[in-house]
Amino acid sequence: MARESGEHVKTPNQTGETGGRDPLALRLARLCTELGDALEEVAAEVGAGEALERLLAALRNGAEPGRLRRLLDDLDESLQRGGIAGGVGSYQPRSPDRYVGLPLSGGALEEVYACPTGDCARAEPILATGARPARCDIFHQNMRRVRLDR
């Protein structure tokens, strides 16, 4: 789980293939990223809007992980029925340059913006966001600044 600035968390490549993180956290990170790239509009266009709203309501109300997994699966199935073959992670966002992945090779990265609740694995490099913190579009909050272990 991410910690406040000054505390340390492991970088994803230090703990194995998925960074030692729950696959649910990785799926939620993808959802958060895609929400910023017009997923709500796409979901509504292909008939998956209600599935997305149920998932967002459950997230915001602190639903149990098993329920969240089922709702994520329901959303993926709804998107697939609407022609988005791979679900949340496969459609082409309308602003493809918006999300910048975490640069794990090259120079050491010391701080990132992370999920405000610590529930997902999303991390945004601070330099990629400029002066403003990245936003979590699930909870409509700024992401938290965290320091990574090297």
pLDDT, tens only, 92-123: 444 444 444 444 444 555 778 899 988 888 88
User: For 117-150, what is the HEC assignment?
Assistant: CCCCCCEEEHHHHCCCCCEECCCCEECEEEEECC
Spell 67-104 as b/e; 16+ CB within 10 A means b.
Answer: ebeebbebbbebbeebebeebbeebeeeeeeebeebee
Is 9 in a helix, a strand, or coil? strand
CA dist., res. 115 & res. 111, Å (int): 13
What's this model's pTM, rounded to 2 decimal places? Answer: 0.61
Neighbours of 41 (CB within 10 A): 11
For the chain, the structural domain boundaries read 8-20+99-148, 39-89
Is 111 in a helix, a strand, or coil? strand
pLDDT, tens only, 122-146: 888 877 656 678 889 899 999 998 8
What is residue 8's predicted lDDT score, i.e. its pLDDT? Answer: 34
Helix (H) or strand (E) holding 74: helix 65-81
